[in-house]
Amino acid sequence: MNVTLTAAERQQAAATYDAIIIGAGISGMFMLYRLREMGLSVRVFEMGSNVGGTWYWNRYPGARFDSESWTYGYSFSKELLQEWDWKEHFSPQPDTLEYLNYVADKFDLRRDMQFHATVNAAHWDEAANQWTVTLDDGSQTRARFLFTAIGILSAHTLPAIPGRDSFQGPAYHPARWPHTPVDFTGKRVGIIGTGATAIQAIPEIAKQAKHLTVFQRRPNWAAPLHNAKISPEEMASIKARYEEIYAHCAQTPTWFIHQSDPRKTLDVPPAEREAFWEKLYAEPGFGIWIGNFSDMLIDEKANAAISAFIADKIRQRVKDPALAEKLIPKDHGFGTRRVPLESGYFETYNRDNVTLIDTLEDEPIVCITPKGVKTAKQEHEFDIMVYATGFDGVTGAFDRIDFRGTNGALLRDVWRDGPRTYLGMVADHFPNMLMVLGPHTARGNIPQAIEHSVGFQTGLIRHMLDHGYTHVETRPEKVDAWTEIVIKAAEPLLSSKVPSWQTGVNRNVEGRQVLRVLGYNGNGAHFRRTTDEEAKSGYQSFAFR
Ligand code: NAP
C-alpha cells in the first residue's frame, strides 16, 4: 500500500475494469470466460496461488468427487468435453485440479487473474456508479459490475476448543491442506470431526498411520461410493452421449443423473422395497439419497424405514456391535443432512490401529494441549492433529468481506436474520452486484448450477449493454416474494429441522446456532423455467437505468 496517498487519492488512482470477479474456482473461471467473450474488461481476485477453488484448497487424502465426474465438469464447450478424459467415475482431487488447470490453460484465463489477492472489502460508490474493491494489501480496484464467485463451502472453521493453538505438532484443516502430501507413516494421529471430509480422509489416513484416533461428536449417515476407473471404451461412450447426459440432468430436480422414484415408501411391499434399496446401496453415486422413494425426505415414517435399512448395513459392516451403534446416527434420519459417500469408511473401524472416541456421551473433549487432546477421562497424545471441522456454509464467505451497498448498507446486517435475495443472485441495496451460487439459489449439481447461474447473469449484462443501461437493481418486492418462496419450499423437508451447514448451523461460529434456510429447495427444473421466463420477459423483475 502506498501510504503517502490519501484514501480519496488511492481510489482515484485505482485501476478500473468493467467487471471484477471475486474467486477463481469453477464459478469465477466460467464467469470470466463468458464476460470476456462479451468484450468486457475483467479482473479476477483469488486468494490462492492458482485456479481451482474448492479443488485447489481441499487436498486432503481421500478428497474426491462423490458425484459422477462426467456430469460434474463444465458442459459449455463441446470441444472441452471431447478433449478431456476422466480417469475415474468419481474423480480424485488431483485429477480434478489438473482438469481445472487444463481449462485455465485452454481458455487462457490466468492473464486476467490476480493470485494471492484476498478481498477485504467491496464498497458501492453511488456517485461513480462503480464498485471499489480493496485487497488485504490495501490496493484498490474499481469496476461497474461486481461478481461474487466465492463458493458455498470456502469459509473453513476450526474447532472452538480451549487450547486449540497450543498443540505443538502439525495441525491441519482439510481445506488448508499442504501442497506436498502429509506423511502419516508411523505417526499417532488425532482427527476431530466425522463429516463428509473426515469420512473420505479417515480410511486413507488409517492405512498409513501408526494409530488413528477419531473424535466423533455426532455420527453422520454415509453410503458406499463404489468408485471405479473409466476404461477408454467407456470414456468414448460417455463422450458420444454427453448431449443426452446433460439434457437429462437439466430436467431433473437436482440436476444430477439421479431422480427419485415416484412411489411412496410404505406403499411398496416390504420385500420389493428392500430389493430396491439393496440395488441402490450396491450402485455407485447418490442414487440411495436422491434416487430413492419420493417421500423419503419429507415423510417421517418413510425416513425411519430407510434409516433402519442403512443402520443394518452399518451393523453388518462393523464387527464390534457396540462400536457399530456408536456410528449410527440417532439424532437425525438418513438423508436429512448431506449424505457423504464413502469408500471403506465403516470397515476402517475394524482395524486394530483405529479408535473411535464418542465425545458426546463417553469422553467429552476438555481442551487441546501441547501434546494432544485432553478428554474428561484421559489425555490422548498425538504427533499430528487434523481438524475436519467443516465450514461456515453459504453465508460465511460473504460475512468475511465488508460488502457495503447503497447508503453504506452492510450485507452482514441486511442478512442478519437470514439471507434475502432475488433468485439467490441479487440482494436488495447492492446494485450491479451479482452472486454466483449465492444463498437462496438452486444448487444440487454444483457445476451445473454454476453454468446456469452464469448464463442467466451474463444474459442480464448483455441485455444492459444492448439497451445502454449501466445500473441494475432488483425490485424489493421481488426479494420479499423470492425469500418467501424459498422459505416455503423448505418447510416440508425433514432436513430443514436438522442442524448442519446446510441449515446454517456451525457451533464454532458465534451467532450461527440458529437454523436458517440457505438454499432453494424447490425443483431445479422449475428454477430453470423461472429464470428462463425472467430472461424472456426482458428481466422485468429488475430495475435498470
Ligand atoms: P461437516 O459436515 O460440517 O462436518 C464437520 C464435523 O466436525 C462434524 O462431524 C462436526 O460435529 C465436527 N465438529 C465441528 N466442530 C467440532 C468441535 N468443536 N468439536 C468436535 N467436533 C466438531 O464438514 P465437512 O465434513 O467438511 O463437510 C462439509 C460439506 O462439504 C459436506 O457436507 C459436503 O457438502 C462438502 N464435501 C464434499 C465432498 C465431496 O464432494 N466429495 C467431500 C467433503 C466435503 P457435529 O456434527 O457434532 O457438529
Asked whether the beta carbons of 376 and 364 are under 8 A apart, the reply is yes
Nearest CA residue ID for atom 4, ligand 1: 195
Cell of 538: 426482458
Q: Distance from the CA of 508 to the center of ligand 1, in angstroms? A: 12
Whole-number Å distance between alpha carbons of 305 and 488: 26
Range list of H helices, 318-445:
321-327, 345-348, 396-399, 411-414
C-alpha 448, offset from chain centre:
13
Who lines ligand 1 at CB under 6 A? 64-66, 153, 159-161, 192-198, 200, 217-218, 338, 359, 388-391, 501, 507-508
Q: Distance from the CA of 193 to the center of ligand 1, in angstroms? A: 6
What is the atom index within ligand 1 of the atom nearest the CA of 156?
Answer: 26
Q: Distance from the CA of 338 to the center of ligand 1, in angstroms? A: 10
**Residue-level pLDDT, tens digit, the chain, 545 residues:** 344 556 665 666 789 999 999 999 999 999 999 999 999 999 999 999 999 999 999 999 999 999 999 999 999 999 999 999 999 999 999 999 999 999 999 999 999 999 999 999 999 999 999 999 999 999 999 999 999 999 999 999 999 999 999 999 999 999 999 999 999 999 999 999 999 999 999 999 999 999 999 999 999 999 999 999 999 999 999 999 999 999 999 999 999 999 999 999 999 999 999 999 999 999 999 999 999 999 999 999 999 999 999 999 999 999 999 999 999 999 999 999 999 999 999 999 999 999 999 999 999 999 999 999 999 999 999 999 999 999 999 999 999 999 999 999 999 999 999 999 999 999 999 999 999 999 999 999 999 999 999 999 999 999 999 999 999 999 999 999 999 999 999 999 999 999 999 999 999 999 999 999 999 999 999 999 999 999 999 999 999 99
Burial of 450 (0-12, 13-18, 19+ CB in 10 A): buried
What is the atom index within ligand 1 of the atom nearest the CA of 159?
Answer: 18
Is the whole model's pTM more than 0.85, yes or no?
yes
Q: Distance from the CA of 195 to the center of ligand 1, in angstroms? A: 4
What is the atom index within ligand 1 of the atom nearest the CA of 389?
Answer: 7
Q: Distance from the CA of 366 to the center of ligand 1, in angstroms? A: 20
Mutate to test the pocket of ligand 1, among 91, 360, 389 (most ligand atoms within 8 A of CB): 389
Nearest CA residue ID for atom 23, ligand 1: 390
Mutate to test the pocket of ligand 1, among 217, 336, 345, 367 (most ligand atoms within 8 A of CB): 217
Q: Distance from the CA of 282 to the center of ligand 1, in angstroms? A: 25
Q: Distance from the CA of 342 to the center of ligand 1, in angstroms? A: 14
Q: Distance from the CA of 540 to the center of ligand 1, in angstroms? A: 40
331 three-class SS? coil
Distances, alpha carbon 265 to alpha carbons 15, 295, 490, in Å = 59, 7, 21
Q: Distance from the CA of 124 to the center of ligand 1, in angstroms? A: 35
What is the atom index within ligand 1 of the atom nearest the CA of 501?
Answer: 3
Nearest CA residue ID for atom 10, ligand 1: 193
Whole-number Å distance between alpha carbons of 98 and 524: 29
